[in-house]
Amino acid sequence: EDQVTQSPEALRLQEGESSSLNCSYTVSGLRGLFWYRQDPGKGPEFLFTLYSAGEEKEKERLKATLTKKESFLHITAPKPEDSATYLCAVQGGGYQKVTFGTGTKLQVIP
């Protein structure tokens, strides 16, 4: 069974203080690893898909990286508007089921 573990559960940063969120996973034949952002009371918002170890993707202050066992979401010089819960998910080969982690709740203090 696919598993996703995210750490830390919560992270509090000062504005401008860079950090990384971790996503460890086990999956049978990785089809894709996804990062989503979720604001309170809203559905998840797609950020990135990573397909193979060594791949990296960037969007504004966010950069996602992937190894065979984990993914990192690096946040550079965060701003208060980056405050949200960040979800990691995986999809194995041959099926459509997507397994999510429990998320990291990020708070960026001005």
Partner 1 sequence: GAGVSQTPSNKVTEKGKYVELRCDPISGHTALYWYRQSLGQGPEFLIYFQGTGAADDSGLPNDRFFAVRPEGSVSTLKIQRTERGDSAVYLCASSRDGNSNEQYFGPGTRLTVT
Query: Which stretches of the chain bind partner 1, using CB under 8 A?
Result: 4, 31-32, 34, 36, 41-46, 49, 87, 89, 91, 95-103
Q: Amino acid letter at 103?
A: G
- If the CB atoms of residues 43 and 110 are measured against partner 1, the closer one turns out to be 43
Please report the sign of the dihedral spanned by the C-alpha atoms of residue 52, residue 54, residue 57, residue 62. positive
Q: CB-wise, 65 or 85, nearer to partner 1?
A: 85
> How far does CA 85 lie from the centroid of its chain?
9
Which residue's CB is nearer to partner 1, number 13 or number 89?
A: 89
Q: Which residue has the tokens 């550079």?
A: 76
Residue 50: closest CA among 37, 68, 75, 28: 68
